[in-house]
A and B are shown apart, each in its own frame.
Chain A
C-alpha cells in the first residue's frame, strides 16, 4: 500500500472514530471534525515533523500544532491516537468521567499531544504566535501550525493576533482557517458575514493561500507543503481552506445542524455503513 493509500485509509478510520466517539457518549461535535479530517490526516500523517513519544511540551526541534477551535476535539484525538501519541482504545473514554479526553482539549489531565486548553474561542492563534516567537528566539528552524474556525473569526482576539503576527513578521507560522461557512446559529453569512475573507487577511499583511478542496487529501497535503515553502519571507502564511461540515456522511454534510449533536442508533448505523471498514480496526 502506498503512503497515500495509507493516509486515505486513515482518513476513513478517523471518520469512523469521530462518529463512534460522539455516539458513545451521546455528545460532542461531529460536523467540524468530519470536515477537518483531511487536514488533520495530512498534517500529522505527512507534513509535521513531530515525535509522539516521549511527548515534549516545549516542542523544541519539532513542528508544533495548536487547535483554536477546540470543539472539534474528536478528530484531533483520533489522529493523535492513530499517529502514536496514545493507544486508540483510550478514544472510548471521550467525554466520560475520569478521562484524559475532555470534551474540549486540555493539558490538565496530561494527554500527550495537547499543549494548551482550547474551547473558549479566539485564543489559539495567540498561543501559536507565542510558540513561533520562542522558536525564532531559539534559532529553531521548525514551523508552528494552527487551525481556527471561520465562525471563530467573529472573536476580536483573532484580529489582534492577525495584526500582531504581520507587524512582528512572524513568518514561521502557518494558520489554517476551516472555511466551512457554518457556525452554530446558521451560516456565517447569516450570523456574521466574513465579507471578503482573502482580502481581509491580505490587507492585514499576511501571505494568503486559498484551498478550494479542503476535503481532498491530495490537495490538502500539497497546500500545506506549499505553505511551508512560503514561510521565511517576512510574512505569516494563512490557508483559507474550504471544507464541507459533516463531510463523508450524507445526512451530516453541508449543514450547521450537526455542529454539536450526536447521532441516534439508526443514524450511527447508517454512518458506519457509508464509511465502510478499514484494516486499522475500530477502537
Chain B
C-alpha cells in the first residue's frame, strides 16, 4: 500500500476495542472469565459483565489477588482476562505474574489499559513507560500492543484462542482508526506501506504518528516503509530482517521508555543479524507528567516531528 492511501476513518479509544473484543470472545467461548480490580468501566468491561454476570468477578482494589485468582481459574480450565491500568497490571504485580502466571505457564490474559503518556492528566504515577520491558523479559510471555480500535478488538479475540500467558497493552484516549480491513495474526508484523529509504517499525499509538510522519516525508521525497509491530514478543524476525535488508536504515517508534521496549527488541535482533543505522523514538529515561496526550507526546519527543527528525538522522548516518 502507498503511504498516502492510509486514511483515518475516525477516532475511538483502543480500550473500546478491547471491550468489544472481550464481549465477542466471550460469546464464542463459554470458558472466558473477566476480572477487574475496581476499573470495570475504564477498561470497558461492562459490556461483558452485563451479558455474562456469572462469569465476571469484581476483585476490588487488590491487583495481586486478581492475578493469583486468574492463575487459579486458568489451572481449572478457564480463560481469565484481567483488567486494570497498565501500571497496576505489571509493576505492582510483577512477582505474582512471574511466579503464578509466567513460570507456571497459565493461560491468563493480562489486559492493561491507560498505558503510556497518553493517559494524560493523571500524571506520572499512572503513566507507565516500562511495562513492555518488564513483560517481554518474562520467559514465555506474549506481549501485544495494538495500534487502534480495530486492531485491539482483533487482538483481544485472537489471544482468547491462543493458549498461554499474554500481556495485552492498550490506552485511554480516542485515537485514529485505520486498520478495519487489515488482518491480525499474533506474532505477524503488519506491512502498512512499502518504501525504500528507511523502515519505521512502530507499535501502539505511535503507529498513527509514524504514518503521519511518513506521509509528510513522502512529500519531501523520502520513501518510508512503515511496519506495525503489534506483537513485541514473539518478534517477527523474518519480516524485520526482510525489510531492513532492503532499506538498511531503521527508526523504531513506541510510547515507552527507550530502555527495554520494542526498540531494544529490534536492536537486539539487528546487532546480531544485520547491524544498520538505527534511531529510537521513545521516552529518554524520564518519568512523564500531567498534561494533554498530544502535548505530552510532543514534549517527551514522541510527536510527528520527532519521527521525522529520527528518519532524517538515520538517513544521514546511512549515507555516511
A residues in contact (CB < 8 Å) with B: 57-60, 64, 66, 106-108, 115-120, 122-135, 137-138, 156-157, 160-161, 163-164, 167-168
Q: A57-B75, A164-B62 are known contacts. Are A127 and B100 too (CB-CB below 8 A)? A: yes
Taking CB atoms, residues of chain A closer than 8 Å to B310 are: none
Across the interface, do B100 and A135 meet the contact criterion of CB distance under 8 Å?
Answer: no
Given contacts A116-B100, A160-B62, contact A134 B68 (CB under 8 A): no
B72 close to A128 (CB less than 8 A)? yes
A156 to B92, CA, bound (A): 13
Q: Is A156 a contact of B64 with CB atoms below 8 Å? A: yes
Q: Is the CB of B77 within 8 A of A157?
A: no
The answer to the question of B70 belonging to the interface, with a C-beta cut-off of 8 Å to chain A, is yes
Q: Bound complex: CA of A43 vs CA of B292, how far in Å?
A: 58
Contact of B105 with A108 in the complex, beta carbons under 8 Å = yes
**Looking at the complex, which one of A64, A108, A161 makes contact with B103 (CB distance below 8 Å)?**
A108
Kindly state whether residue B229 has any CB partner on chain A within 8 Å: no
Q: How many A-B residue pairs have CB under 8 A?
A: 122
Please report the C-alpha to C-alpha distance between residue A130 and residue B106 in the assembled complex, in whole angstroms.
Answer: 12
- Determine whether the beta carbon of A129 is less than 8 Å from that of B69: yes
B residues within 8 A CB of A58? 75-77
Determine the chain B residues whose CB is within 8 A of the CB of A157 once the complex forms. Answer: 62, 64-65, 68, 96
Q: Collect the chain B residues with CB atoms within 8 Å of residue A135's CB.
A: 76
Contact A126 B68, beta carbon cutoff 8 Å: yes
Question: Does B276 count as interface, using CB distance less than 8 angstroms?
Answer: no
Query: Shortest 10 CB-CB distances between A and B: which pairs?
Result: A130-B72, A126-B68, A134-B76, A160-B65, A160-B62, A127-B72, A130-B69, A130-B73, A58-B77, A157-B64
Whether A127 contacts B65 by the Cβ 8 Å rule is no
B interface, over-half SS: helix
A130 touches which of B55, B70, B95 (Cβ 8 Å): B70
Residues of B within 8 A of A132 (CB): 72
Any chain A CB within 8 A of the CB of B262? Answer: no
Q: Distance in Å from the Cβ of A64 to the closest Cβ of chain B?
A: 7
Count residues of B near A (Cβ-Cβ below 8 Å): 32
For A58, the closest partner residue in chain B by CB is B77
B residues 55-82 touching A (CB-CB < 8 Å): 55, 57, 59-60, 62, 64-78, 80
Once bound together, how far apart are the Cα atoms of A137 and B34, in whole Å?
13
Interface positions, chain B 1-54, Cβ under 8 Å from A, are 33, 54
Q: Does the CB pair B95–A59 fall under 8 Å?
A: no
CB contacts (< 8 Å) of B70 on chain A: these are 130
Given contacts A58-B75, A126-B64, A157-B64, contact A164 B69 (CB under 8 A): yes
Q: Which residue of B lies closest to A122 (CB)?
A: B64
Q: Which residue of B lies closest to A118 (CB)?
A: B99
Do residues A117 and B76 form an inter-chain contact, with CB atoms below 8 A? no
Q: Is the CB of B104 within 8 A of A116?
A: yes
> In angstroms, how far is the closest chain A Cβ from the Cβ of B34?
12
